[in-house]
Structure 1
Amino acid sequence: MTDNSIETVQCVYFSPTGTTRRTVEAIAEGTGLRMADPIDITLPAPREEWDGSTQGDLLVVGVPVYSGTIPSHPLDSLHRLTGNGRWAVPVAVYGVRSAEDTVGQLSGLLRTRGFRILAAANFVAEHSYSHDKLPLAMGRPNKRDLETAREFGGKIAEKMESHPEELPLESRPLKYGENYRRKREDWPENRRPGSTTRVSDYDEERCIKCNICVESCPSGAIDPEKYAIDDANCIRCFACSRVCPTGVRMTQLSPRAMTFFTDLLDAKKEPEIFI
């Protein structure tokens, strides 16, 4: 494939609460290229069924930042990708604390799969732990963020047209290695399930048994009959608390976590573009 034959862009994303999806789709829209059907590897079934095939000439690959790295759940899926020299744009989406070098980690993974990195970005989104009493980047990506994402897409198209070249962004190894969050014993002790955050206990009287929380869980951690959450499999994305229509599922943080994140309420973070 030659660079002049770029006609389609395709999004690949892991997005439990939808913020990464909205960000990468805005970037793809901004390129002006024809958009192939997105590949959503958020939920267990489609993630396991996907064989890694893609139709896009250019891929925009987005992941949220969890503890300074790529969540482990989409790793197997991402390792099925085959670039064959195609261009990719890695995007890390984080909730005000820090993106760390996640976009470098994603760049490294994509390069091992045969992609060239054309551009990259860090975008800000509402933190998974955000709630009424702790509004961490509440409402982001907002209108301005999405406009920036579309403008970034336009810059990608311009670079593709005028001087397509590999972005000199250093590839980084995964922060905690391949097994992070796969085996409880491999987690850093202070980040093991129950150490700082959890979803509130099931309240049978208030639950309407709509199963929305079960269907939205990216790790299949919610029992579809008893609605109990398997702490060892829960990744603390709090997608269940976002979609619960009765508020039964609530975000609970330890006093230490509340203190830490309260100090970040006034943090002003903006997107970072690398092109």
Structure 2
Amino acid sequence: MMVYQLIFSPTGGTQAVANALSGGQVVDLTDRNFDFSSVALTAEDVAFIAVPSYGGRVPLPAVERLGKVHGGGARAVLVCVYGNRAYEDTLAELSDVAEFAGFRVVAGVAALAEHSIARKYAAGRPDESDKAVLRDFQARIQAKLDAGDTTAPALPGNRPYKKRGVRSIVPQAGKACTACGRCAVVCPVGAINAANPKVTDSSKCISCMRCVAQCPVHARDLNPVVLGGLELALKPVCSTRKENELFL
């Protein structure tokens, strides 16, 4: 039996949640150059499939890349990570994507991590309390697997899913940019011009903030007026601490 982590984690929050639940061989769903059709699991394997919630949906690149994986009947634990607003239809959609790829869904988690754009919300999460909850749930998942129970949990969400929102928050390079090209290399969708990293294709950008997180000189950021407006809009729904939701 092999344990896999299939992770779309542009800024590290989703990876931190997944690590609290499991170890295993990592398949990086942010790598736009990887051949995901080469990933083949078996019915004896276990996969932790973890994605952030983008506007209540699974990020489209993650949908497309997971669809190329050969699940082979492997048991799957679905992990949806969100920044304290709401995850809406993310788990339902992820379940459908996983089943289409040949996985058997046996558990699900909706977990908290620092909001990737408005970082003041869910700051520092997953914290130690979150990690303790996730470790305990991992033990419960293992007990279910040891018992040979592969029943699918009831997961929240609607079908049809909510309409995808249009993301228009595009990080820009500032004066400190050295044009090293790191952001262009790590961008999950190839939105940054490799020849001129100060140029970003807004029609491709998914506002994942990976370029901001990976810039070695912290030269990429958001327009402070736009960020301030977003933080203000999120304040009513993000200010109260939410807790992890577990589905077994």
Which residue of the partner structure matches residue 141 of structure 2? 156
Letter in 2 for 1:13: I
Deviation at 1:172, TM superposition (A): 5.3
1:51 and 2:38 aligned: yes
Cα 1:244–1:192 shift into 2, 3 Å: closer
Cα 1:20–1:255 shift into 2, 3 Å: closer
Match of 2:161 among 175, 179, 200: 175
Distance 1:199 1:224 in 2: 15
Distance 1:72 1:45 in 2: 16
Which residue of the partner structure matches residue 213 of structure 2? 242
1:271 and 2:248 aligned: no
> TM-score if structure 2 supplies the norm length?
0.87
Which residue of the partner structure matches residue 170 of structure 2? 198
Which residue of the partner structure matches residue 80 of structure 1? 68
Distance 1:85 1:53 in 2: 10
Long gaps (5+) in structure 1 = 1-6, 30-34, 181-187
Letter in 2 for 1:224: A
Deviation at 1:256, TM superposition (A): 4.3
Tell me whether 216-225 or 54-63 shows the greater mean CA deviation. Answer: 54-63
Match of 2:189 among 219, 222, 231: 219
Tell me whether 159-168 or 48-57 shows the greater mean CA deviation. Answer: 48-57
DSSP 3-state at the match of 1:119:
strand
Distance 2:78 2:230 in 1: 29
Contact 1:107 1:172 in 2 (8 A): no
Distance 1:70 1:44 in 2: 16
CA deviation string 1:201-243 (max 9, x = no partner): x33x421233222222111111122211110011001111122
Distance 2:18 2:208 in 1: 18
Aligned length: 243
Which residue of the partner structure matches residue 16 of structure 1? 10
Deviation at 1:254, TM superposition (A): 5.8
1:257 and 2:205 aligned: no
Which residue of the partner structure matches residue 4 of structure 1? none
Which residue of the partner structure matches residue 139 of structure 1? 124
Distance 1:80 1:174 in 2: 22
Distance 1:270 1:229 in 2: 36
Q: Percent identity?
A: 29
Deviation at 1:69, TM superposition (A): 0.4
Distance 1:273 1:28 in 2: 15
1:65 and 2:53 aligned: yes
Distance 2:84 2:167 in 1: 22
Which residue of the partner structure matches residue 113 of structure 2? 125
Distance 2:131 2:189 in 1: 28
CA deviation string 1:72-116 (max 9, x = no partner): 012222112333433111110111110112112111222233322
Distance 2:48 2:96 in 1: 15
> TM-score if structure 1 supplies the norm length?
0.79
Cα 1:255–1:22 shift into 2, 3 Å: closer
Tell me whether 205-214 or 62-71 shows the greater mean CA deviation. Answer: 205-214
Contact 1:52 1:78 in 2 (8 A): no
Tell me whether 210-219 or 232-241 shows the greater mean CA deviation. Answer: 210-219
Long gaps (5+) in structure 2 = none
DSSP 3-state at the match of 1:63:
strand
Cα 1:45–1:264 shift into 2, 3 Å: same
Distance 2:92 2:228 in 1: 32
Deviation at 1:176, TM superposition (A): 5.5
Question: What RMSD over aligned residues (CA atoms) do the two structures have, in Å?
Answer: 2.4
Cα 1:63–1:192 shift into 2, 3 Å: closer
